[in-house]
Amino acid sequence: MKASICAGLAALAAALTAGGPAPTPAAVDRAALTAQVRDELRHAWRGYERYAWGHDELKPVSRTAHDWHRDSLLMTPVDALDTLLLLGLKEEAARAKGLILEKLAFDRDVPVKNFEITIRLLGGLLSAYQAIGDPRLLGLAEDLGTRLLPAFSSPTGMPYMYVNLKTGKTSGTKSNPAEIGTLLLEFGTLSKLTGQPVFYEKAKRAVTELYARRSPLGLVGEEIDVETGKWLSPASHVGGGIDSYYEYLLKCARLFGDPDCERMWAESLKALNAHLADETPSGLWYGQVDMNTGQRTATEWGALHAFLPGTLALGGDLDHARRLEDSCFTMWNLRGIEPELLDYRRMQIASPEYPLRPEIVESAFYLHRFTKDPRYLEMGRTFFESIRARCRTDAGYTELKSVITSEKGDLMPSYFLAETLKYFYLLFSEEPVDFEKVVFNTEAHPLRRTW
């Protein structure tokens, strides 16, 4: 047996049995944790206000700012606004809204990533509009959605990766299921709220064209050419590049009652369970296979994959959801915080960074809502305390370059405020969420079925 495999098995054994039988955890004080999450949101937002005001994101170690493009598109304020509102930080929310209304403009000569701008900005503006009712927010969303529409002008209808907000020029023929299939909640909601069907139609065609190109096994690959419709990579998994494609099939069915989405979700789920699910001594995982042969090509799972227990729970499969979240928790406990990627067969970390990702918390939230099992509150407390201990700085929160060495990076991604802190709050608080009427987009922006 190779030395690396021995080391991996030893790490697995340590993770599974560390310190003998686990002590009974102290009861989770939900009110105290909810208050702490609010304090940490205030801390993170204050860092943004002090050192990155008007920019996209905060670099909390150097106390400077990061912009994605030549001009800032206010990623953090737009992404954070509905979280500030939900957690009752009224003055901070008013300042975020004021900045957005004063400065946010999309008449910019910059190529943007259609997917990222849609989930963060379009989703954030729509959700803030639904929360506050200020028509100027819907006006911004409509302007943005209209400027993104040229992205769908490929011969297949699957969007190019980039579109210039001013000129409409597109680029990026190589795309992936996540970037093609994670648009319908936002574009569809824009259609419902403005009465213009074009947004729904374009985003729906994109996902339908992608689904039509699934393999005979019912799986999608990792990379596709949006002009020719040919697959460029047959790697099929539920991690980055594919993840939220599956999430949106289910959520589109729930938000819009769209029977095509319902059918695509049900068929896709069967294929995932038949070919990706991997029962191992360390638990249930969903690994990587070749989309055409079903042959296993990698045994990797990571922080992005960890959305799946939540989506399975929302779809009603609590058995797989529970067991998968247990596997995620094993991954977290290997180093006391989750790595970006883990080889789950060898229990070896394949990518050691932790960029403040929310997915594992999101899944704990859904599982707790559907099972009421206090285990998920305990998990959430572990996640929250680890992040606070290892990622907090005087000026906000930062990503980790390595969960092994705890070396810090220098970025507070906008999704930390949009998602990570929001899901902690939703997990610990008793905030009512009507899952029949509210669907969270993949950036955790709640979209309400008001139509």
Backbone angle region of 35, left / alpha / beta, with phi > 0 → left and psi within -120 to 50 → alpha: alpha
Binding mask 304-323 for ligand DMJ (x = CB under 6 A): x-------------------
Quick one: tokens of 5?
Answer: 């495999």
For the packed helices 243-256 and 184-194, what is the interaxial angle rounded to 10 degrees? 30
Q: Which residues pair with 304 in a beta bridge?
A: none
Q: Which is nearer to ligand DMJ, 68 or 346 (CB)?
A: 68
Q: Are 116 and 418 in contact (CB under 8 A)?
A: no
Q: Which is nearer to ligand DMJ, 45 or 415 (CB)?
A: 415
Smallest distance, ligand DMJ to C-beta of residue 87, A: 19
56 included as an active-site residue: no
Q: Which is nearer to ligand DMJ, 199 or 415 (CB)?
A: 415
Binding mask 221-240 for ligand DMJ (x = CB under 6 A): --------------------
Sequence-distant (6+) residues with CB within 8 A of 344 are: 278, 280, 282, 285, 287, 299, 300, 301, 327, 331
Smallest distance, ligand DMJ to C-beta of residue 53, A: 22
Q: Which is nearer to ligand DMJ, 28 or 261 (CB)?
A: 261
For residue 27, give the DSSP letter: P
Q: How far apart are CA 226 and CA 151, in angstroms?
A: 11
3-state secondary structure of 112: strand
Q: Which is nearer to ligand DMJ, 345 or 357 (CB)?
A: 357
Q: Which of 325, 338, 340, 443 is catalytic?
A: 340
Nearest to 445 by CA among 40, 56, 78, 45: 78
Q: How far apart are CA 361 and CA 416, in angstroms?
A: 11
Binding mask 98-137 for ligand DMJ (x = CB under 6 A): ---------------------x------------------
Smallest distance, ligand DMJ to C-beta of residue 23, A: 32
Q: How far apart are CA 118 and CA 327, in angstroms?
A: 31
Q: Which is nearer to ligand DMJ, 339 or 358 (CB)?
A: 358
Q: Which of 142, 243, 258, 443 is catalytic?
A: 243
3-state secondary structure of 54: coil
Q: Which is nearer to ligand DMJ, 244 or 398 (CB)?
A: 244
Task: Give the Å distances, CA to CA, from 149 to 167, 170, 191, 301, 375.
Answer: 12, 10, 12, 34, 44
Restricted to residues 326-355, the positions that interact with ligand DMJ (CB under 6 A) are none
Q: Which of 56, 222, 325, 359 is catalytic?
A: 359
415 is an interface residue for ligand DMJ by CB under 6 A: yes
Backbone angles phi, psi at 447, to 5 degrees: -110, 130
Name which position in 76, 244, 282, 311 contacts ligand DMJ (CB under 6 A): 244
Smallest distance, ligand DMJ to C-beta of residue 244, A: 4
Half-sphere exposure of 240 (CA within 13 A, CB side): 9
Which stretch of DSSP H or E encloses residue 20? none
Restricted to residues 355-374, the positions that interact with ligand DMJ (CB under 6 A) are 357-358
Smallest distance, ligand DMJ to C-beta of residue 352, A: 16
443 included as an active-site residue: no
Give one DSSP letter per residue of 182-230, joined into a string: S-HHHHHHHHHHHT-THHHHHHHHHHHHHHHT--TTS---SEEETTT--
Smallest distance, ligand DMJ to C-beta of residue 97, A: 22
Smallest distance, ligand DMJ to C-beta of residue 177, A: 12
Ranked by CB distance to ligand DMJ, the top (closest) residue is 442
Which residue type is seen at 265? W
Name which position in 379, 443, 446, 447 contacts ligand DMJ (CB under 6 A): 443
Q: How far apart are CA 227 and CA 450, in angstroms?
A: 36
442 is an interface residue for ligand DMJ by CB under 6 A: yes
279 included as an active-site residue: no
278 included as an active-site residue: no
Catalytic residue numbers read 116, 243, 340, 359
Q: Which residues are at the interface with ligand DMJ (CB under 6 A)?
A: 119, 244, 304, 357-358, 415, 419, 442-443
